[in-house]
Amino acid sequence: MGEAGIELVYGDGGIGLMRHLADGALSAGGKVIGVIPRFMVEQGWNNPSSTQTIVTGTMHERKAAIVGMVDAMVALPGGLGTMEELFECLTWKQLGLHGKPVVILNTDDFYAPVIAALDKMVAERFMQPIHRNDMFSVVSAPEQVLPAIQAAATWGEHMRSRARTI
């Protein structure tokens, strides 16, 4: 990302895969913007190496700020926070609140159970096929992320009419 001139905006966590991604981007000369709620800073959970840190009042403000700042969202393997952020981002997209590409990096089939659940939602008619097929993409390797972002289907407020389930 740093070598490609892509600015990283993330939740400013000081551990985990995202910290490693941030450190890699910084070491390649990139810019990293961390967005983190005040209580996490008070706990020392932020990344002190970020180029810029934006402190929010709440987790909700953090997510809204990140979505507002980015051109695309990429979910790496992660824990509950990652899952919650991914599904909120997809819900906002389904509702037409943003039209930005969403890419799931399914390294070592980490997201296979989640993808199976999404497929079951379509099969059981809790989700429309367009929301499974066009709202996000799944890739298996980091080098596939940028092409997936570039190939993402156009999605915007006009898709709001498709937000209702079947």
Largest CA distance in the chain: 48
Contacts of 78 (CB under 8 A, 6+ apart): 16, 17, 18
- Please write the tens of the pLDDT for every residue from 22-62: 999 999 999 999 999 999 999 999 999 999 999 999 999 99
Identify the pLDDT of residue 30.
Answer: 94
- Range with the poorest average pLDDT among 15-24, 43-52, 148-157: 148-157
The pLDDT assigned to 156 comes to 72
Put simply, whether the predicted model's pTM sits higher than 0.75 gets the answer yes
Domains in the chain, start-ordered, CATH in brackets? 1-70 (3.40.50.450), 73-159 (3.40.50.450)
Number of Cα atoms under 13 Å in the Cβ half of residue 44:
0
The sheet with strand 102-105 has its strands ordered as: 73-75, 102-105, 137-139
Label residue 92 by pLDDT band (50, 70, 90): very high
Query: Tell me, what's the pLDDT at 161?
Result: 72
Read off the pLDDT of each residue in 56-75 and give the average, rounded to a whole number: 96
